[in-house]
Amino acid sequence: MIRTLCTLALLAGPVLAGEKEMRHFLDALRRAETGGMPAAGIGAVGDGGASIGPYQIQRAYWTDSRQKSGRYEDCLRDARYSEQVMLGYWKRYCPDALASENWEVLARVHNGGPKGHKKKATDGYWSKVQKEMKR
């Protein structure tokens, strides 16, 4: 519960000492998704138009996040909103990983869906995120 509150604080405002790891992870995830894009992926569209924004969020992911505010299209240009969507998704599908800061599970679920952490297909994505985390 404490870590979830810290994560909510992170998404709402300035980074405090205890939130640096989450910010570092989110930055690595963003670079893995759209690192080559100008302005760190703001306005990025991928997967033939199916994924948008700096974290390449798809409409089904946004819906599953149960985000009560905003619109899916807000993911295209608002990194903080996208991070709120991701937090909602993780709280729904992998709350234990979120609470324990299990970056591998969080990254693989982000990439591969609710059971993404169990899919061989997300191994390469996790490697890419790990590489970005070492920067």
Instruction: Kindly tell me if the per-residue pLDDT of 93 is higher than 80.
Output: yes
Instruction: Kindly tell me if the per-residue pLDDT of 102 is higher than 90.
Output: yes
Total-model pTM: 0.84
Q: Are strands 45-46 and 57-58 parallel, antiparallel or unpaired?
A: unpaired
Instruction: Kindly tell me if the per-residue pLDDT of 94 is higher than 80.
Output: yes
Cα separation, 134 vs 112, in Å, equals 22
- pLDDT tens digit string along 37-90? 656 677 888 888 899 999 999 999 999 999 989 999 999 999 999 999 999 999
Closest by CA to 87, choosing from 57, 53, 125, 52, is: 57
**Which CATH number does the domain housing residue 109 bear?**
1.10.530.10
pLDDT of residue 36: 63
pLDDT of residue 38: 59
Domain region containing 87: 2-133
Residues 7-14: contacts with CB under 8 Å, at least 24 apart:
7/87, 7/98, 8/87, 11/80, 11/83, 11/84, 11/87
Total of domains in the chain:
1
Taking the alpha carbons at both ends of the chain, their separation in whole angstroms is: 29
pLDDT of residue 48: 85
